[in-house]
Chain A
């Protein structure tokens, strides 16, 4: 899987939008962009994924750059429960059996 780069940490005020960036300049044409998050003392949970078009679900939105070399996970209104480590992971459905490769992710702190 291609490598991703994320800031180590970010901070947000409660009820404000949060934009979590991810760079993936070596992304291949068949790589999907997946986001997982890990709340304190819990296992990771799936957040969202996309290929080319922007995606929305009940948890977040994913904005993908036109050249696909970067993407942004958007939390529209951060809550204290969104404080977690967010991981951006590339997955190639044609790449055969490869495991999830977790980097260091971005640790999001939410301030009340």
Chain B
């Protein structure tokens, strides 16, 4: 049973470009969470999605960031017009039943904005 997969593992963008981060949850998991980890800091929750629904986006910046989890395919975290402050590791996690279940994390995407 493959774990949570994220790609790309590393992404370099110039200021103003768009970044698309993909996350495939574990088989049988329909709940996906995105976290961001700035250098030398702990993980911060961004958004919680189920298939085709955003359940909680209280941690998402109001502008430039969006997330989706379509009926088919991976979850996508999209950052438009990236700035240097967006440089961070972005982790995706999935669970089977919902937030109170164990969350299984992917290896992360390390975004560097030049």
A contact residues vs B (CB 8 Å cutoff): 34, 38, 42-46, 49, 87, 91-93, 95-105
26 contacts between A and B (CB under 8 A): A34-B102, A42-B107, A43-B106, A43-B108, A44-B91, A44-B105, A45-B104, A45-B105, A46-B102, A46-B103, A49-B102, A93-B100, A96-B99, A97-B48, A97-B55, A97-B99, A98-B99, A99-B33, A99-B45, A99-B56, A100-B35, A100-B43, A100-B103, A101-B45, A102-B43, A104-B42
Binding site for A on B (CB under 8 A): 4, 33, 35, 42-45, 48, 55-56, 59, 91, 93, 98-100, 102-108
Residues of B within 8 Å of A93, CB to CB, are: 100
Contacts of A92 in B (CB 8 A): 100
Q: Which residue of B lies closest to A85 (CB)?
A: B42
Residues of A within 8 A of B98 (CB): 97
Docked complex Cα distance between A45 and B3 (Å): 11
Interface pair A102/B56, CB less than 8 Å apart: no
